[in-house]
Every structure is written in structure tokens, then in C-alpha cells.
Structure 1
Amino acid sequence: MTSPLSGRRILVVEDEYLLAECLREMLRGDGAEVLGPASCVEDANALLDRHPAPDAAVLDINLGRQDVYPVADRLSGQGIPFLFTTGYDHGLIPTRHAQRLQCVKPFGADDIRALLLELLGGDAR
């Protein structure tokens, strides 16, 4: 049986190396094409500039000394669905993104998979 994520292009923006690699391997194992992982806003924007638009994205809110909101704003403007991964309280997320799906750290592969399927409408290709 083919995974609903098979053939989907997913942008991963995560600055924690081990978590980023786990996300990449999980998504690849589900047949997705992974853009990144990018560990900062500049790298994420470079990936978006160089590749076809992703089908969805997984964005860590806190990228060290910067937050991911500029990437979220860009994706939102292009109509690309995304979810946040965070250890932050929901109330700290800017109002413009307050309704976005969130996966609270620590999380498991099944948590991310389920939220991505929700973002993508659960449609198998």
C-alpha cells in the first residue's frame, strides 16, 4: 500500500540536528521528497527559491536566535499549508498564525504524520 505522503514534497525547517534528521528519515520512509532540513530562515528561503513549491511544511518556531515566522508568512502568502513544532505556549504565537496546527515537543513520528495528512486533506495520490 502506498503512503498518502508518497510523492509529496515537504519542507522541513528545524535547527535541532537529531530531530531534523529523524523527520527527514521518517518522511523519506513514507515516500515523501524532503526539502531540507533547513536550520535557519535564510536556508529555508534559499530552498524555496531553488525548488518547486512544497506541498506542505513542518516548521520549528524557535530557530536559535530567530523565529520561523518570516518563512511561515511566505508559505501562507503562497497558500502552502504548514504546521508548527514547538515547545512554546500556544498564546505566544502571533495572532496571524494562531490557528495553525501545532505539534508540541516532544512528539513522535505518528504525531507529525497525522498532522501532515490532516494538512494535505488525507488524500492519497
Structure 2
Amino acid sequence: MPDAPGPLAGCRVLLVEDEYVIADEMDGWLRQAGAVVLGPVPDVDGALDLIEREAGALDVAVLDANLGDGETAYPVADRLEELGVPFLFATGDVRLVDEPSYQSRTRLEKPVTQRGLVRALQSLVPPRGG
């Protein structure tokens, strides 16, 4: 009997996370849920390049707010907003997401769980036909 498609089957998810172990774990969780993962990418430039290459093909994004060395994912969030791509923050630094323009965004505090991540993403994207 074939496996049933996952709850994120076919959903194209941009993953922006600078910590390798966390990125690898989230990548695995998303793939288990049936998602097509774009990335993970560890920095703003890489994420923006990927967004432009995949223009129109992204369904949702997971952003670590703090990407290290003082870099934040805000430029990525702003570009996704311009394109109408829903996103959430997965971060351990709550202060970063307390910027007024991002307060209404879904935020998962680290450590993130597989179940929490998948459910949060499901709430951001419309159900897929099938």
C-alpha cells in the first residue's frame, strides 16, 4: 500500500536558517510532510537570489529572524510580502520579531517541533487539491 501524501504534499517551501543542524532537521521534517524544500539558505543574499530564481513558484516560507553576524531576515520578509508569499518566523530571539510591521506574523519560538512547524505552515497555505 503506497504511503498517503503528507499534509504539505507538493507545497514549495523556502527555508531560511543559518544554523546547519536546525536547517537540516527542518528540511527533513518538511520533506516528510511532502513539501518541496527550496534551500535551506543561510543568509539574506542567498534567500533573495533563490526567491528571484523561483519567482511565482513559492507557496510559503520559514524564516529564522536572526541569521547571525547582526543580519536579520527582514529584507527577505519584505520581498516575500511584496510578492504575496506567506511566511512565518521560526526564531529564538523574540525581540527581533517585535518590530511593529512583523508583529502580526506567525512566530514559532525555538526549539520548534515538527508538529508545530507543519501545522503552522498548513494554516498559511490553502489546502492542496487531490
Q: Which has the larger radius of gyration?
A: 2
Alpha-carbon distance in 2 for matches of 1:107, 1:88? 13
- Stretches of 4+ aligned residues off by more than 3 angstroms: none
Counterpart position of 1:55: 59
Counterpart position of 2:75: 70
Conserved 8 A contact 1:61-1:85: yes
Percent of residue pairs identical: 41
Conserved 8 A contact 1:11-1:58: yes
- Cα-to-partner distance string for 1:72-118 (whole Å, 9 max, x where unaligned): 00001111000001112357521111100000001211110010011
Pairwise mapping of residues 84-99 of structure 1 onto structure 2 (< 5 A)?
84-89=89-94, 93-99=98-104
User: Tell me, what secondary structure is at the counterpart of 1:63?
Assistant: coil
Which runs of no fewer than 5 residues in structure 2 stay unpaired?
none
Which runs of no fewer than 5 residues in structure 1 stay unpaired?
none
Higher strand share: 1
**Alpha-carbon RMSD:** 1.5
Q: 2:12 aligns with which of 9, 12, 16?
A: 9
- Does residue 37 of structure 1 match 2:40? yes
Q: TM-score with structure 1 length normalisation?
A: 0.92
Q: TM-score with structure 2 length normalisation?
A: 0.89
Deviates more, 1:9-18 or 1:89-98: 89-98
Shift in Å, 1:28? 1.1
| Count of residue pairs the alignment pairs up | 124
- Does residue 115 of structure 1 match 2:120? yes
| Residue identity opposite 1:9 in structure 2 | R
| Residue identity opposite 2:65 in structure 1 | I
